[in-house]
Amino acid sequence: MTPKVSIPHYLTIYRLGTLYANYRLIIALSLTLIFFITIENQGLQYEYPNLYFYALMFYVGSSLAQLLLLKYFQHAISAQIVGLFAVDLVFLSSLTFALGGPNISIGLLFVISVFASNFLLSKHQALFMTLVAVICVVYQQFVGSLFNHTDLNNIGNSVFLAFLFFVVYGLGQFSIQRFQLLESLTTYQSNELFKFQNINRYILEQIEVGYLVLDENCKIIVSNPAACTLLGISPLYAHEQFHLATFQPDLFHILKRSLLADGERFQFESPQSTYVVDVRVQNLIVPQQALTLLILEDAQKLNQKVQQLKLAALGQLSASIAHEIRNPLAAIVQANELNQDSDQAQRELLGQMIAKQAKRIDTIIQDTLAMAKNKKTQTIRIHLLSFIQDLIQNDLSDVAQQIQFEIPASFHLCFDESQLRQVLINLIRNAIRHNAKDAEFILIQAQRQNDIIQIDVIDFGQGIDQADIAQLFKPFFSTEINGTGLGLYLSQSMCEANQAKLSYIQQKQQGACFRMECAFLD
C-alpha cells in the first residue's frame, strides 16, 4: 500500500523537488559551457569526448523537460522525482565512463544527488539510490582493473567515493530524522496555538463587553462581535484587520485628537451606532509593538449595574443599621418602663442610661451619614513629616505624649488632606485605646518599598484574634462593646478612594499594626 502523505508534507516535497530540478538544469548548462570552452583539449581531458558530449545534450534536454513537467503537470509527483534521480544516475555514470573512470569532481555531483535523495525519496529509495551510485562508481574501475593491473592503484578513488556515498547517506538520514522531529514539534505547537486561538475567539464572542485592540497606526488587530455591535461596525469585520478610520472615523478622530492616558475613560456617541459607549483605554505591553486595548461597554447598562449595586449596598446598610439600632432602642424602652416605678436615684441612673444609648444611636447615624456622603476626593501633594506633626499638635493634642513617630523628611505622597487626617485619627485613637496599660506610647513609622510608602500605626496591646481578622474591615463589626464598627470600614473606603490600601499586618510579637500603602512621590 502507498503511505498517505499529508498535504503540507506533499507541498514541501514538491517545492524541494522543483528547486532540485532547477539545480540540475543549471549544472547541465554549466557542464555544457565548460565542455565548449575546453573543446580544444578534448583529447587530454576526455577519454570518450563524443560520449561526454552526447551525455551532456541528453542531460540538458531531460533536465529541461523534467522541470517543465514538474512545474506544469503536478500529478504523480513522487514518480517524477524518482525519474529525476534515475536520469542523474544514468548521466553521471556516463560522464564517469567518458572521463576514463571515477573522478572526484563528478563524484561530488554524485554526493549531492545522494544527499538530496534523502530529503526527496523514502528511506528505502534513498538507500537504493546510494547503492546504485556506489556500483556506478566502483564497477568501472574494478572491471577495468581485472584486465589492466596498472590501474589497481586507482581503485582507491572508487573506494573513497563509495565510502563517501554511505557517509552522506547516513548524514542525510540523520538530518531527515532531525527535520522530522522539528516538523512534528512545530506542527504540535501550531496546533496548540490554533486551539488556544479558537478558545480565545470563542470567549471573546460570548462576552458582552467589547474589546478592540489597535496598533500605533489605529489599525484594528483584534475585535470581538460585541465591540462591532457597540461601534456600529458590521460583524463581518470582527476577525479581520482594517484601519479604524475606514469603519469608525468618529472614534478614530477622538483617539488621534486626544492623548489618552492608560486607564482613562470617556463616553462616545456616533451616528453609526445607537449606543452611548463607555470607553476605557488600556496600554498593552507587547514586545516591539505598541498596542492599545479599548474596553467598550454600553453606558446605559453600566449605569443600570451601578444603580443596582447602590440599591443592594443600601439594602445591606439599612439592614445593618436596623440591627445596630435595635439594641440601644430596646435598652431605652426598658429603661423608660422602669423609670415610672423608680425612686429619684434610680431615675437618675436610668436617665444616664437612656442618654448613653441615645448618644450611641446618634454616633451610628453620624458615622453612617459620613459613609454615605461619598464626597469626591481632592488629592494634593502632602509632605508626610510636616502633616504628622500638624496632626498631633492640632487634632491629637490630648494624647500627644502617647505618640512617637519615625518619618523620613523626604517622604511625599498624594492624598486628600481631610480624608488622610480622618484615617490617621481613626487608626491612632484605635491604637491608643488598645495599647497595653504599661506601654508608654504607640509608634507611627514610615518606610519605602520600591515606589510605595508604607505608613504603619503600631500598638503594643493584645493584638487581633485570628478569628476576627477576616471581619476587621466589615461595617458594624467591632470588638468593643460601645464601638459602632464603622471606623475601620470608613478608613479603608477613604484609602481606596485615594488609590491607597489599608490592611492589617500580623505582628510576630505582642501588638497590632495597621498599614497604609500609598504611591511615593519624588
pLDDT (tens digit per residue) in 171-188: 666 766 776 677 777 777
Q: How does 436-475 read in b/e, with b if 16+ C-beta sit within 10 Å?
A: eeeeebbbbebeeeeeebbbbbbbbbebbeeeeeeebbeb
pLDDT band for position 150 (cuts 50, 70, 90):
very low
Phi, psi of 88 (to 5 degrees): -60, -45
Q: What is the C-alpha separation between 186 and 2, in angstroms, rounded?
A: 25
**Cross-strand bridge partners of residue 267:** 278
Q: CATH number for the 379-521 domain, one of 3.40.50.300, 3.30.565.10, 3.40.605.10, 3.40.50.2000? A: 3.30.565.10
What's the whole-model pTM score? Answer: 0.40
In this predicted structure, which of 73-77, 236-240, 327-331, 436-440 has the lowest mean pLDDT?
A: 236-240
Task: Confirm whether 207-300 and 379-521 share one CATH topology.
Answer: no
Confidence check: pLDDT of 459 > 50: yes
pLDDT band per the 50, 70, 90 thresholds, residue 386: very high
Instruction: Say what the pLDDT of residue 65 is.
Output: 87
Here the cell at position 426 is 481613626
Predicted confidence (pLDDT) per residue in 207-216, tens digit: 888 888 888 8
201 against 214, higher pLDDT: 214
Q: In angstroms, rounded to a whole number, what is the distance separating the alpha carbons of residues 363 and 268?
A: 44
- From the list 278, 275, 283, the residue with the least C-alpha distance to 259 is 283
Question: In the structure grid, which three cell numbers stand for residue 24, read together?
Answer: 540540475
Domain boundaries, the chain: 7-186, 207-300, 302-373, 379-521
pLDDT value of residue 485: 62
Q: Class of the 207-300 domain?
A: alpha beta
CA distance 493 to 371: 9
Which residues are CB-neighbours of 382 under 8 A, at least 6 positions away? 412, 413, 414, 415, 417, 420
What is the residue-averaged pLDDT of the chain?
Answer: 78
Cβ neighbour number for residue 8 with a 10 Å cutoff: 11
d(CA 395, CA 402): 14
Helical segments of 148-217, H only? 155-206
pLDDT attached to residue 514: 92
The CATH architecture one would assign to domain 302-373 is Orthogonal Bundle (1.10)
Q: How far apart are CA 324 and CA 481, in angstroms?
A: 12
Mean pLDDT value of segment 352-362: 78
Which range in 244-248, 359-363, 458-462 is most confidently predicted, on average pLDDT?
A: 458-462
